[in-house]
């Protein structure tokens, strides 16, 4: 028999928050709680679940630039990211010219 439990839903921080489940971008520091792969309508994405004093629990999509920074700081194992502190900033993507959320590890 499978035991079920209710999952806690948390807001996703986005540059362009368009619905009630989106959290508008705020520059802050946060601790990585978990890293998971999720399936979206655009394909598989990596999402970081974070916690900060200012925002509480929230999620953010991890772009390739942020992933590169996380790997440089913590290695290539997801489990090493957990507990890491990051500073969230907004930067312009050099290739596409769109603003993006970047996770900058604080070491």
Predicted confidence (pLDDT) per residue in 23-72, tens digit: 999 999 999 999 999 888 878 889 999 999 989 999 999 999 999 999 99
Q: What is the structure's pLDDT at 56?
A: 93
Strands (E) located in 20-98: 22-24, 28-40, 43-52, 56-61, 85-92
pLDDT-based confidence at residue 94 (cuts at 50, 70, 90) = confident
Question: Which CATH number is correct for 12-106, 3.40.50, 3.40.720, 2.40.50, 1.10.20?
Answer: 2.40.50
| Better-scored residue on pLDDT, 5 or 26 | 26
Q: What is the structure's pLDDT at 27?
A: 95
Specify the pTM: 0.87
Q: Which residues contact 15 (CB under 8 A, 6 or more apart)?
A: 25, 90, 98, 99, 100, 101
Nearest CA to 11 among 54, 47, 52, 60? 60
Q: Report the share of the chain in percent with pLDDT over 90.
A: 71
pLDDT-based confidence at residue 18 (cuts at 50, 70, 90) = confident
């Amino acid at each position: 028999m499978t035991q079920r439990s209710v999952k806690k839903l948390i807001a996703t921080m986005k540059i362009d928050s368009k619905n009630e489940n989106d959290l508008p971008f705020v520059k802050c520091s946060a601790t990585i709680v978990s890293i998971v792969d999720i399936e979206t309508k655009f394909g598989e994405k990596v999402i970081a679940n974070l916690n900060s004093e200012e925002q509480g629990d929230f999620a953010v999509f991890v772009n390739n630039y942020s992933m590169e920074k996380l790997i440089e700081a913590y290695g290539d194992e997801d489990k090493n990211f957990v507990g890491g502190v990051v500073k969230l900033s907004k930067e312009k993507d050099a290739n596409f010219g769109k603003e993006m959320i970047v996770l900058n590890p604080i070491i």
